[in-house]
Structure 1
């Protein structure tokens, strides 16, 4: 194994991503902040049930090599410290090793993701995620409930354009059509694509994989893209230029992605198109509101 990284991978997760807070959120929207606070305090000894990011967080926290954790999870919450006590009690109840948190008293928590040097920020709030992406964070909005993948591995799938890569090629497709897109990608096959918002997170996962013997890493990555031959070559050469390896890659040529995500047994899938993450087939969908399709 290689020497351990100087710092673990850091994932920022909001309280509504980690736990199911639907009941208290309904009270907040219907009756206001005081009623919400009273409800949380009255129920602070009642553990919250898992939310969409819970199972993924568990898997990341279980990545330990020679007694050292490879991942740290930071709780980021709009709650005040007082009303947030229920969240920390729930963390303790479920045995999650989360010790750092920011309780923002009603303000957006994403600025603290930067302060904690998070490699990934997960939220259920679309506006929160958009602002995080604007300042260069890898961020995604979790959609729907998590369907636990039947595997001890952390299995993460990524779309390509506007997620791992920039949307430069997608803009050609959007403006000039499929044939122009294919011609452009063939002509630029040896020109690496510009990095997208999740390039650095994928790179960090690749670095973690290197701390395990070959083919023994509990982290598995997949690229699941609507591209097909001949536009595949630029993707392959770009990842090679970046020094990043993905375990599996699927070039679908426009086919629906859900069956392929189920075949990969993904825990989470990051895609710039909401329709693709609403029917993921496996794991939780994570919408990345980046690129021309989200303008």
Structure 2
């Protein structure tokens, strides 16, 4: 019987985002691919330590509870390793008791081409090139940055998003970049009743919302937040857009250009997605952060 992921949240992740592969990657950078392969085979029974996105993946898989017959979430490994060197990754998955059973090993080739084949709603990687190609193909994707991941004891999965060029298109951000804040504010006030077009992460947010909708709001295992540099009067269009999409967002912070890091720490985000490097640099001092190289800020 064919397996169907249509009703699941599917997250694809690279091995370097899931595990700490800095030591072996340094071997690759210093001595080349053959030395890297030999190193991984020699250490294939030595478990890899958790990487930046490991706590996120653990919480995603925890959404399944004991329901392994019909899980809500599927995590797929997309790795540039070969199957031979990838054995260490699978051994580490087993060691850490992660229910990840499907993988693609491409031996140096870009992995993004398998995102639609697996039906992934989100792709996380430490390789910016793979992420850019995934975004160009219309998939939600982010580069996992080296981050300070503070211990989060809450069992609830908490995900925070920037707005423009992430949840929404960059149509308004282009006006801000090209014409300034005054023109941006005037445009958003005039278009307050016109929904923004969706950005690359609209589908991922919708998939999270579908899981949330199965629970009373006070019992949801997922909590989401919009943390944006927008402020009044540009807030109204955002609120009306989410209402038009019929997508729930639990918290909305309109910061008017303030640094986002302290607010993400207060929210307790397991991960934050933003298109602008400056915001990512503030965020990654406190929480796992994914840079979304999309839109006018990245041109």
Does the alignment reach a TM-score above 0.5?
A: yes
Tell me the distance in 2 between the aligned counterparts of 1:158 and 1:214: 19
Structure 1 residue corresponding to 2:278, chosen from 275, 280, 288: 275
The alignment covers a number of residue pairs equal to 291
Q: Tell whether 2:179 aligns with 1:186.
A: no
SS of residue in 1 equivalent to 2:77:
strand
1:88–1:140 Cα change, 3 Å: same
5+ long unaligned stretches in structure 2: none
Distance 2:217 2:257 in 1: 33
Partner SS for 1:102: strand
Instruction: Note the C-alpha offset of 1:110.
Output: 1.4
Match of 1:60 in 2: 60
1:52-79 CA-partner distances (Å, limit 9, x unpaired): 1100000000002672421110001111
Q: CA RMSD in A?
A: 1.3
Larger deviation, residues 89-98 vs 67-76 = 67-76
| 1:212 alignment partner, one of 206, 215, 237 | 215
> Contact conserved, 1:267 with 1:282, CA < 8 A, in 2?
no
Cα distance in 2 for partners of 1:52, 1:266 equals 13
1:132 is matched with which residue: 126, 131, 134?
Answer: 134
Whole-Å Cα distance in 1 between the matches of residues 216 and 164 of structure 2?
31
2:239, 2:294 → 1: CA distance?
22
d(CA) in 1 for partners of 2:241, 2:23? 46
Deviation (angstroms), 1:87: 0.3
Query: 1:288 aligned to 2:298?
Result: no
Is the CA contact (8 Å cut-off) linking 2:64 and 2:72 kept in structure 1?
A: yes
Indicate the residue corresponding to 1:69 in structure 2. 71
Match of 2:10 in 1: 10
Preserved contact between residue 166 and residue 196 of structure 1 (Cα < 8 Å): yes
Partner of 1:154: 157
Q: TM-score w.r.t. structure 2 length?
A: 0.95
Is the CA contact (8 Å cut-off) linking 1:62 and 1:69 kept in structure 2? Answer: no
Tell me which of 243, 248, 251 is aligned to 1:248.
251
Answer yes or no: is the 8 Å Cα contact 1:221–1:247 preserved in 2. Answer: yes
Q: Give the C-alpha shift of residue 111 in structure 1.
A: 1.1
- Deviation, 1:6, is 5.2
**Runs ≥4 residues deviating over 6 A:** none
Tell me the distance in 2 between the aligned counterparts of 1:214 and 1:151.
Answer: 16
SS in 1 for 2:116: helix
Distance (Å, rounded) in 2 between the aligned partners of 1:194 and 1:153: 29
CA–CA separation in structure 1 for the residues paired with 2:65 and 2:82: 35
TM-score scaled by structure 1?
0.96
CA deviation map 1:85-128 (0-9, x unaligned):
00000000000000000000111111112211100000011111
